[in-house]
Amino acid sequence: MGGYIIRRLLWAIPTLWGAVTLLFLLMRVLPGDVAMVMLGSEGAAIDPVQLNALREELGLNIPLWEQYAVWILDFSHLDLGKSLWTGNTVWSEVAIRAPYTFTLLVMAMVLSVFIAIPTGIFSALKQDSWLDYGLRSFAIAGLSIPNFWFGLLLLLLTVSVFRWSPPIEYATIVAAPLVAMQQLTLPAIALGWRQSAVSARMMRSSMLEVMREDYVRTARSKGLRERTVIIIHALRNAILPVITIFGTEVLLLLSGAVIIETIFNIPGIGRLLIDGINHRDVNLVQGLVAFITIIVILVNLLVDLVYGWVDPRIRYE
């Protein structure tokens, strides 16, 4: 397992470097002038002096390779740059906002796991029953209804039925854990329901497959209790595909968080990204996207490690 962990860790470094390079290229090489966009012109006359000053400030006047060298050198020191709008470093902005986003993401994941795995298993064990039909409809709805609409509908329901509206100020998980979790429950449901639908569907189909395997029949014929057969024998193999899609689902959760934070007015990283764009703060946007990429690569690393732990065959590939 030790060698496997080291191999995976080493592989994460070139991936991160590549992703950050790609981000740089997208932000600089695409046919668009950041400085022009920031000055808000669509063909209207711009003061060339102002444009030049802004390009200078953004470091766009030096050759591209030099810009890249500065960017990658800063990044290797984990310097994500400075926001033009607030004047603070991207890290200090992230430090303020991250607790909200992480609480939201973790709650959404926990909720979805607690919903997805039991429903997937029960649905597979009771194939073609009403429960099964119910779950399949839920999964299809989960895939089709956009989370921002689902979030809006949830908000509409709570506002009109329970007279509850989102708080103006959110508590952080560090200062007041219970209050923070209570406040973020509804947004977490809005965010996590799609993932729970996807995972439940995957859990169901892989459980159905595993329950027909010979070794499950053998376990049964040994006279083991059904519960032992399911939990000890079937589940360990059936859960593998669910772990695999977990990595890609985290990507979708992060995308979803941007929208859910906007709807529920949560001051997280997603909201900051949108605020950054509205303030035409390209530095902040670039730094935040780089930060999100680091998180994604770390999560994928973690998923790979868990995968290697659950299925020892993977480690020797």
Partner 1 sequence: MTTAAATVSTRKRARESSWTIIARFFRDKPLGAAGAAVFFGMIIIALIGPWITPYDPLSTDVMHRLQGPSWAHLMGTDEVGRDVVSRVILGARVSAIVGIGATLVGTTVGAVIGVISGYVGGKVDMGIQRIMDMIMAFPGLVLAIAIMAVLGPSIINVILAISIPSMPRANRVIRSIAVSVKEFPYIEAARAVGCRPWRIILRHVIPNTLASYLIVATSMLGAAILIEASLSFLGLGIPPPHPSWGRSLSEAMQYMYKAPWLSIFPGLAISMIVFAVNMFGDALRDVWDPRLKRL
Q: Residues in the site for partner 1, rule: CB under 8 A?
A: 14-16, 18-19, 21-23, 26-27, 30-32, 34, 36-37, 42, 140, 143-146, 148-149, 152-153, 155-156, 159-160, 251-252, 254-256, 258-259, 262-263, 273-274, 276-278, 282, 285-286, 289, 292-293, 296-297, 300
DSSP state, residue 280: T
Q: Which is nearer to partner 1, 216 or 258 (CB)?
A: 258
Least distance CB 236 / partner 1 (angstroms): 20
> Which distant-in-sequence residues (6+ apart) come within 8 Å of 272 by Cβ?
93, 94, 97, 284, 288
Q: Which is nearer to partner 1, 61 or 220 (CB)?
A: 61
Pair 11, 298: CB distance under 8 Å: no
Least distance CB 184 / partner 1 (angstroms): 19
Q: Which is nearer to partner 1, 205 or 220 (CB)?
A: 205
Least distance CB 297 / partner 1 (angstroms): 6
Q: Which is nearer to partner 1, 34 or 184 (CB)?
A: 34
d(CA 261, CA 259): 5
Q: Which is nearer to partner 1, 152 or 176 (CB)?
A: 152
d(CA 143, CA 316): 35
Least distance CB 198 / partner 1 (angstroms): 12
d(CA 72, CA 28): 14
Least distance CB 200 / partner 1 (angstroms): 16
Least distance CB 154 / partner 1 (angstroms): 11
Q: Which is nearer to partner 1, 19 or 181 (CB)?
A: 19
Residue 8: which of 245, 308, 296, 240 has the closest Cα?
A: 308
Residue 194: which of 165, 235, 151 has the closest Cα?
A: 151
Least distance CB 61 / partner 1 (angstroms): 17
Q: Which is nearer to partner 1, 212 or 217 (CB)?
A: 212
Place of tokens 């050759």: 63
Pair 285, 273: CB distance under 8 Å: yes
Helix (H, G, I), strand (E, B) or coil at 170: coil
**What are the distances in angstroms from CA 216 to CA 71, 75, 206?**
55, 51, 14
CA angle 96, 19, 33 (to 5 degrees): 80
